[in-house]
């Protein structure tokens, strides 16, 4: 695992429809489950309404976990 990628998948989980928001690097030297990984985003501008945000694990070759598995709806006023 290389890093985590945070996407807005409101338009769909397909790679052609999602928007990359930011990445979170994996802890250095991690070889197994590491609890408590956190990350912060830069300031982002969103349109008002509901957005489906997803986080994927990305490997060195660019392969990614399923974005639908780790996703949540947020509402921007």
pLDDT in tens, 4-37: 999 999 999 999 999 999 999 999 888 888 999 9
Grade residue 44 by pLDDT with cuts at 50, 70 and 90.
Answer: very high
Residue 49 has what pLDDT?
A: 96
Residue 66 has what pLDDT?
A: 96
The stretches of 1-77 forming alpha helices (DSSP H) are none
The count of other CB atoms within 10 Å of the CB of residue 10 is: 19
Residue 6 Cα to chain centre, angstroms: 2
56-71 pLDDT per residue, tens: 999 989 999 999 999 9
CA nearest 17: which of 29, 30, 8? 8
HSE at residue 58, side-chain half, CA atoms within 13 A, is 15
Residue 48 has what pLDDT?
A: 95
* Distance (Å, whole) CA 48 – CA 10: 12
């Amino acid at each position: 695992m290389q890093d985590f990628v945070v996407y807005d998948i409101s338009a769909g989980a397909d790679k052609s429809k999602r928007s990359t928001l930011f990445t979170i690097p994996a802890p250095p030297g991690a070889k197994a489950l590491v609890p408590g990984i956190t990350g912060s985003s830069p300031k982002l501008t969103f349109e008002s309404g509901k957005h489906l945000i997803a986080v994927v694990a990305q490997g060195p070759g660019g392969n990614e976990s399923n974005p639908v598995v780790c996703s949540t709806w947020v509402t921007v006023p």
